[in-house]
Amino acid sequence: MSALLKTPPPLWIALHLPNLALDVYHPPWLAKKAVVVMEQNRVHTVSSLAAQAGVTLGMRLSSVQMLLSEAIIHQRDPIKESAALQSAAMACLRFTPQVCLLEPACIALNVGASLRLFGGIRRLRRLVQTTLEQLGLGAQLAIATSAHGACLLARARPQRASAHQCRFALDNQRLSERLGHLPISLLPAAQKWLAWFTGIGCSSLADLRQLPRPGLQRRCGKDLLHQLDLAFGDAHEVYQWLEMPKQFHARLELPDRFEHAELIFHFARVLIVQLCGWLSQQQLAVNCLEFAFEHERGRQARVPTLLRIPLAQAHWREEHLSKLLKEHLAQIQFDAPAIAIRLEALQVTAMHAPNADLFPEPGGNQEEQSKLMELLVARLGAENVLYPAPQADHRPEVANQWVSILEKTKTTSPSPRPSSCRPAWLLPQPQLLEVRRHRPHYQSVLKLMSPAERIEAGWWNGQLVTRDYFIAENAQHVRCWIYRERIGHAQQAEDDEVWYLHGIFG
């Protein structure tokens, strides 16, 4: 029993966001522009086009404007950066509930218990990388057996330019080897002692570990040794896991004014990714979403454009929710550019694990069918995707009822009917048929294929129906459901009976 309850060994994925100050203003799905982010009148970070034009870090604003007059200048915004870091951490809750924030600008995920669920560490790493790309954030990833060690590996300068490069240290020996080559400057507590370390010829973490600990503690304090021990896994720390609110409300300021649905979709999907992380952490699924696209404020203020997305079945997966969002956005015509997006989960329910069948049906399981229905609703409208809701009445136009697939109303079961079959779809109004030589005609002469099904009902509410229904077939083998009035028809012809077409069999 103790072997079954054994806790899996910790394995950490660290995410470092080196270009966070730029990514909050210029995500990768926007057209490439020369963007410069300033801090205290000095260049803090630049886009690739600005760097190609000669803009370098530390350059003054006046020099940037002389060198690149068309550059888009932004001031560094720590509040936006903190919000983006929080949104990335929230999105990573899809992979593990143990997510924490470490300084500086690092997210650590303890995924030791999640490997089997996501198919191994390499596939999990690709999923995390894809999630950050959906958020518009560039990240350096590292995987190690300690959180602080993984963060140091992630913060180290990559050896080659690759967006998907990841450093692995899946055991303590490999972690010690990789950390030993890193510079001391990566340790936050060593920043004010860098000149002294350089003077004594100590440049790497391996060199730092060889120094006498008592003397190093007297010189630099306990904090430096503690950070070093945490990185190499020689000390334990209690982490403060990310906590989520009980209700989901998220808002995203757009870096510019957008009115094209394709661009707005990328920013709205950022909120969807956050929502899915929140749902996974809370073990919930969403039944109804509502987006609010904010427009101009002040004198030219406009009412936000609302987009409500009801779901036929509760979901929590990002792929399906993003598909629905894209389909619904394609149906919206924005009257004014959007400057911000809000997302609220209006209805949530407990998450139920999918129940796989031993012998799957050819048409897919219930979850796949509900996804198809929701996509059809997004494209065609809820009023055009219907399901049968028969009523207990003998009159066909009353018994044959169809309601929207999104309505969850309970319908009464139909009353017992004769053995003769009826078509599922009826005409909105019965169609008067032409009569030739005392026989009904629809594209050709109709041949009766069944005895009469007599219906007499509706006397209790003043809507009396007295009809004889027949199944008929024409020369093209189209089967129809026709009837003739028995009594009380004012337009009854003297010689020929009056026939009506009420439905056509599929």
**Within this chain, do residues 269 and 339 fall inside the same structural domain, yes or no?**
yes
**Within this chain, do residues 270 and 181 fall inside the same structural domain, yes or no?**
no
Residue 53 lies in a domain: no
**Cis ω before 104 (30° cut-off from 0):** yes
Phi and psi at residue 472, to the nearest 5°: -130, 160
Residue 282 lies in a domain: yes
C-beta of residue 373 within 8 angstroms of C-beta of residue 312: yes
Give the pLDDT confidence score for residue 389 in this predicted structure: 75
Question: To which H or E segment does residue 85 belong?
Answer: helix 78-91
Give the pLDDT confidence score for residue 2 in this predicted structure: 47
Give the pLDDT confidence score for residue 415 in this predicted structure: 44
Give the pLDDT confidence score for residue 487 in this predicted structure: 60
Measured distance CA(436)–CA(472) in Å, rounded = 15
In the three-class reduction of DSSP (H, G, I as helix; E, B as strand; rest coil), residue 319 is classed as helix
> Which of 410 and 465 is assigned the larger pLDDT?
465
CATH no. for residue 219? 3.30.70.270
Q: Dihedral, CA atoms, 90, 93, 95, 101, nearest 10 degrees?
A: 70
- Span 325-353, average pLDDT: 90
Give, in order, the Cα–Cα distances in Å from 101 to each of 15, 48, 151, 317, 443.
10, 28, 10, 24, 74
Residue 4 lies in a domain: no
Give the pLDDT confidence score for residue 30 in this predicted structure: 87
Q: Over the stretch 228-254, which tens digit does the pLDDT of each residue have?
A: 999 998 888 888 999 999 999 999 999
DSSP 204: B
Q: Over the stretch 362-420, which tens digit does the pLDDT of each residue have?
A: 655 666 777 777 777 777 777 777 777 777 777 787 777 777 776 754 444 444 454 45
Residue 489 lies in a domain: yes
Give the pLDDT confidence score for residue 413 in this predicted structure: 46
Residue type, 321: L
CB neighbour class for 111 (10 Å; exposed up to 12, middle 13-18, buried from 19) = buried
Last residue of a domain, one of 199, 232, 265: 232
**Within this chain, do residues 490 and 451 fall inside the same structural domain, yes or no?**
yes
Last residue of a domain, one of 201, 232, 263: 232
Q: Indicate whether 145 pLDDT > 50.
A: yes
Length of the chain, in residues: 506
Residue 6 lies in a domain: no
- CA angle 76–77–82, rounded 5-degree value: 130
| pLDDT mean across residues, the chain | 85
Residue 289: beta bridge partners?
Answer: 309, 345
What is the domain count for the chain?
3
Measured distance CA(270)–CA(283) in Å, rounded = 20
- Span 6-24, average pLDDT: 89
- Span 41-53, average pLDDT: 92
Give the pLDDT confidence score for residue 410 in this predicted structure: 45
Q: Is 207 left (phi over 0), alpha (psi -120 to 50) or beta?
A: alpha
Give the pLDDT confidence score for residue 404 in this predicted structure: 76
Residue 68 lies in a domain: no
CATH no. for residue 344? 3.30.1490.100
C-beta of residue 483 within 8 angstroms of C-beta of residue 467: yes
Measured distance CA(47)–CA(60) in Å, rounded = 16
Confidence band for 160, pLDDT divided at 50, 70 and 90: low
DSSP 151-183: HHHHHSPPSS--TT-EEEE-SHHHHHHHHHTSB
> Which of 224 and 160 is assigned the larger pLDDT?
224
Confidence band for 163, pLDDT divided at 50, 70 and 90: very low
Measured distance CA(239)–CA(50) in Å, rounded = 39
Phi and psi at residue 35, to the nearest 5°: -115, 135
Q: Over the stretch 175-230, which tens digit does the pLDDT of each residue have?
A: 999 999 999 999 988 988 999 999 999 999 999 999 999 999 999 989 999 999 99
Taking the alpha carbons of 67, 69, 75, 76 in that order, is the dihedral positive or negative?
negative
Residue 341 lies in a domain: yes
Give the pLDDT confidence score for residue 358 in this predicted structure: 61
Last residue of a domain, one of 232, 259, 288: 232
Residue 481: beta bridge partners?
Answer: 471, 503
Closest among 315, 314, 310 to 291, alpha carbons compared? 310
Give the pLDDT confidence score for residue 308 in this predicted structure: 92
Which residue segment(s) compose the domain that 161 sits in?
Answer: 12-24+77-232
Place of tokens 């987009």: 307
Place of tokens 């990514």: 23
Residue 42: beta bridge partners?
Answer: 39, 60
Residue 318 lies in a domain: yes
Give the pLDDT confidence score for residue 182 in this predicted structure: 93
3-state DSSP helix/strand/coil % of the chain, to nearest 5: 35, 25, 40
Joined together, the tokens standing for residue 142 give: 């590292």
**Within this chain, do residues 17 and 132 fall inside the same structural domain, yes or no?**
yes
Question: To which H or E segment does residue 124 belong?
Answer: helix 121-134
Helices 147-155 and 172-180: angle between axes, nearest 10 degrees: 40
**Within this chain, do residues 266 and 193 fall inside the same structural domain, yes or no?**
no
Confidence band for 80, pLDDT divided at 50, 70 and 90: very high
Give, in order, the Cα–Cα distances in Å from 91 to each of 77, 127, 233, 290.
21, 11, 27, 19
**Within this chain, do residues 222 and 279 fall inside the same structural domain, yes or no?**
no
**Within this chain, do residues 151 and 185 fall inside the same structural domain, yes or no?**
yes
**Within this chain, do residues 253 and 223 fall inside the same structural domain, yes or no?**
no
**Within this chain, do residues 94 and 203 fall inside the same structural domain, yes or no?**
yes
- Span 275-297, average pLDDT: 93
**Within this chain, do residues 203 and 168 fall inside the same structural domain, yes or no?**
yes
Say if strands 284-294 and 249-258 run parallel, antiparallel, or are unpaired. Answer: unpaired
Question: To which H or E segment does residue 113 belong?
Answer: none
> Which of 387 and 324 is assigned the larger pLDDT?
324
**Within this chain, do residues 108 and 195 fall inside the same structural domain, yes or no?**
yes
**Within this chain, do residues 187 and 320 fall inside the same structural domain, yes or no?**
no
